[in-house]
Amino acid sequence: MKKLLLATALVPIASLAHAECSPDFSDVTLTVSTQNGPFIASALQIAAETWSEKTCGKVELVEFPFSELYPKFLTAMSQQTGDFDVIGFIPAWVPDFAPYLSVMPEAMQSGESWDDIHPVYRERLMSWGGEVKSATMDGDMHMLNYRADLFEDEANKSAFKEKYGYDLAAPVTWDQYYDIAEFFTESDKVDYGTAEAYKRGGQQFWYFFSHAASYTNNPANPGSMFFDPETMDAQINNPGWLKALEDYMKGLQFNPPGALNNGSGDVRPLYSGGSVAMNIDWADSGVLGATEGAIAGNVRTAVLPGAKEIWNHKTESWDKFDEPVASPFLAFGGWQLAVPSDSDNQEAAWSFVEEVTSIEVSGRAIVTANTAVNPYRLSHYENLENWKEIFTEEEAASYLGAQRATLDSPNVAFDLRLPGFFSYTEVLEIELSKALAGQVEPQEALDSIAQEWNKLTDDFGRESQLAAYRASMGLPPVE
C-alpha cells in the first residue's frame, strides 16, 4: 500500500508475541489517523495495544491538527493513495467522505455490541445513502456544567433569590443562565460566571449553534434550524439566529478576560480548576472536573437551557410556549471511525474498529481522563461500576442523566451534515468572528453568511443539497 504521509508523526505500537493470534494479522501494519492527541488519539493508542495483543497486528498512529484532517483525508481518498486504513473524523464530513468509504461488514451490524449503541448514533449518524459507512467511537453533545458547592450554598441561594426573585438552580432558559452568570461574576465566591469557546478554529461555531437551537429548532417545523427544508434557503439570518448571536455575545461579559482566544480545550480547565461557576462543553469537562480539578465531588451537569419563544420560519413570527422548550444540541455528534475503500487491509481495519468500539474497551475509555471519549452506548449509561472510579453517586447521576435526557429529548437538535460542510462553516467562522470582535453588527454578519450559504448551495446543486439535508434531518424525500 502506498504511503504518502505528509508532515505526520508516527507512533508505533508494538504487538506482543503470542503463540496464537486470533484473528491472525501478524503480517499487517495498520495506518490509523486522527487529530493530535491526547483527545481521541490516546483512546486509539490504548485500543491499539489490546488489539495487537489479540491479533499480533501492528498499528501506526498518524496525527494531524484538527484543521488539517478534512483536506488530508479527502485528498488522499479521492486520489486513491491508500494512505490510511482507518480514519477518525466527525459526522459532518460523512456526506463528502461517503463515496470513498467501505461499508461496515454485515457481521458488525447485529448482535449485542450493535444493539447496545444508542439509536441516535446507530440509526442517524453512522449511515449515509442507506449504508453504514462509519462507527461511532464517542458520543457528543453540548451540556451545561455547574458547581454544586456554589449552587447549593445557602448564602448564595438567599442572595440570588433576593436579587432575581427565583431560586438558584440549573438554568432552564438562557435568560436564567445569564442571570446566574451575572450573579457569580459579581460574587466574591468565584472569579467568573461562565466559560464558553469563542475562538475561531476553536470549535467556536458549535457553541453558537447550541444557543441557536433553542430559538430556531421549532418542533412544529422539523429540520428548519439551518435551512428551509422545502426550498433549501438559508435560515441563519432570521430573528431566531439573531437572538442567539446577541445572547452568545452577551456572554462575553461574564467570561474570563481574553475569552475571544479561548477554544473548547481552554474552557474545560476554567471549570475544572474552579475559576468559573459554569461552563458549556461536551462531557469532557465533567470527567476532568472529577479527576483532575479543584471541584471534585461538586461536578453537576444539566441539559442545555431552552426557551419559551421559538422562531417559526413559515409564519415569520415567534411561537410562544407556556413552559420552556428544551432543544438540546448534538454538537459535533461524536468522533467516528471508518475504513477507506482504497485500504489494502480492510478486514484488519474493521477488526481494529470493532476493538475500539467494543463494550469493554469503550467502557474503559469513557472514564479515562483526556481520551475525550464520551458515552454513546446504552451500557455506558446503565453500567455504573466504571463511573464509581471517578464520580460520586450524585455526580454520576447528574452527568449520565443529563446526557441521556439530551439524547431522548423529543426536540433534540441534530448538527449540520451536508456535502460541502467545510465550505459552509468556513464562511460562518469568518463572519461570526467579525461580529464577536465588534467589526460588524450581528445582523450584518448573519446576512452575509446567509448570502454566501445560498451561493454555496447553488454551486453544489440546490436539489441534491436539499435531498442530503432532508436525509440528515430525518425527513423523507421531497415528493
pLDDT number for residue 385: 81
pLDDT number for residue 383: 84
Domains of the chain are: 10-140+333-408 (3.40.190.10), 143-327 (3.40.190.10)
pLDDT number for residue 363: 94
- pLDDT class for 13, splitting at 50, 70, 90? very low
What b-and-e string marks burial along 370-400, b requiring 16 or more CB atoms within 10 Å of the CB? bbbbbbbbebbbeeeebbeebbbeebbebbb
Closest CA to 15 of 47, 38, 62: 47
pLDDT number for residue 397: 94
pLDDT number for residue 478: 85
For residue 168 the three cell numbers come to 438558584
Across all residues in the chain, what is the average pLDDT?
94
pLDDT digits (tens, 9 = 90+) for 105-149: 999 999 999 999 999 999 999 999 999 999 999 999 999 999 999
pLDDT number for residue 306: 98
pLDDT digits (tens, 9 = 90+) for 45-96: 999 999 999 999 999 999 999 889 999 999 999 999 999 999 999 999 999 9
SS3 365: helix
pLDDT digits (tens, 9 = 90+) for 444-459: 999 999 999 999 999 9
- pLDDT class for 19, splitting at 50, 70, 90? low
> How large a percentage of the chain has pLDDT more than 90?
90
Give 341-344's long-range contacts (Cβ < 8 A, gap of 24+): 341/77, 341/100, 341/101, 341/102, 342/77, 342/80, 342/81, 342/82, 342/100, 343/1, 343/82, 343/84, 343/85, 343/86, 343/102, 344/1, 344/82, 344/85
pLDDT number for residue 74: 97
pLDDT digits (tens, 9 = 90+) for 358-391: 999 999 999 988 898 999 999 999 888 889 989 9
Rounded to an integer, what distance in angstroms lies between the CA atom of residue 473 and that of residue 450?
A: 19
pLDDT digits (tens, 9 = 90+) for 393-413: 999 999 999 999 999 999 999
